[in-house]
Chains A and B, each alone.
Chain A
């Protein structure tokens, strides 16, 4: 089936900033339209100003175009529904941890504060160092148990 091959190809496209996690695992794929001569792929950007979007787009086109039966490939970024951090799959959460990034926390306090467990030792004894990390979607925290700084993916929800 062509659809299966397209999904497989998309699975091979990784987030340029976290190269073990695919755009499927991040929950970015919203819609896939396959017709006889065209494949339309609609993706949800994680953050609007994300500079990696252009790279992701060209990598998707490259990966899907390499399928023999694929006709024209059209990649669109849409923002409805909005991407939220609960779209990251279980596999995605595990791979983030392996990469040293805490997956997005599922619980946010009413004050907007949140905690992430240390991806290295699993400790909950952590503090927020900088809400804005090296990229829009990550924050920098510090583990008081194993004394390592680490990054966490920011929680993003429509309830904010």
Chain B
């Protein structure tokens, strides 16, 4: 059965599961869009600066839409949900919260472009798989949102795949740094596929396909790319720094939220 908003509001267990899933979707896009915005002015060249900020803007737009859906389910004010929730309540994957590299936006940023490319490419592909599954979600408003997100995501994926392929075909330092970046991303990648402690509720209510199904689909789509670049897919991924879906996070998230919160708490009514 397909649930409209009114149906979801009448069924407590269903509403809770949909809310939990939406927090994961919203928080993932929100924190990665924030990390992307920190790159402004620092990308390898001006065209990339334009492209990356455009992608981050789209991604923040997706987060805003998911927070809006949460608002509909009674989770609270969308601006508050985005800016004022403490780290322990955040449901994003740890991979997406990690800093871009040493330094900060204001003081000597030495950001790692290889890490940006790998993280964004792997995420864009995972998001694509997830959004495809969400098109068939039992929650009608989410299925509709997925159709819209999918069309924009298409371009993001194309963009990051191009960077990934080019840097790995370049050899030399690029290849070494990409290898190091991939190692770092694989260490947290399982956290991106996890649904956390309440994941069984998602599949029970047919909100989305299982973790395993999505991960298998990701591997299936990545394999030809890896093969063409002579890369080896690890047997297993890890979740070294904890499961963000259960509210476990690194210091990096807290620092980011402090920075974001300063602006928001200063003027909660300001439009963003």
Contact = CB atoms under 8 A, between A and B. Distances in A.
Indicate whether A and B interact. Answer: yes
Contacts of B159: 131-132
B251 interface: no
Main secondary structure of the interface of B (DSSP, over half): helix
Contact of A49 (B57, B141, B144): B57
Given A79-B65, A131-B51, A132-B51, A160 B147 contact: no
B148 A82 contact: yes
Nearest to A140: B47
Given A48-B65, A158-B151, A136 B50 contact: no
A132 B61 contact: no
Interface residues of A, number: 26
Given A131-B51, A158-B147, A160-B150, A48 B271 contact: no
Nearest to B162: A131
Nearest to B161: A112
Contacts of A131: 51, 155, 158-159
Contacts of B54: 132-133, 135-136
A156 B156 CA distance: 13
A156 B152 CA distance: 8
19 contacts: A47-B61, A48-B62, A48-B149, A49-B57, A49-B64, A49-B152, A79-B148, A80-B147, A129-B47, A131-B51, A132-B50, A132-B155, A133-B54, A135-B54, A136-B58, A136-B152, A140-B47, A160-B150, A160-B154
Given A132-B159, A140-B47, 19 more contacts: A47-B61, A48-B61, A48-B152, A49-B152, A50-B61, A79-B145, A80-B144, A80-B148, A82-B148, A83-B148, A84-B151, A112-B154, A130-B47, A131-B159, A132-B50, A132-B51, A154-B155, A156-B151, A158-B147
Interface of B: 47, 50-51, 54-55, 57-62, 64-65, 141, 144-145, 147-152, 154-155, 158-159, 271
Interface of A: 47-51, 54, 79-80, 82-84, 112, 129-136, 140, 154, 156-158, 160
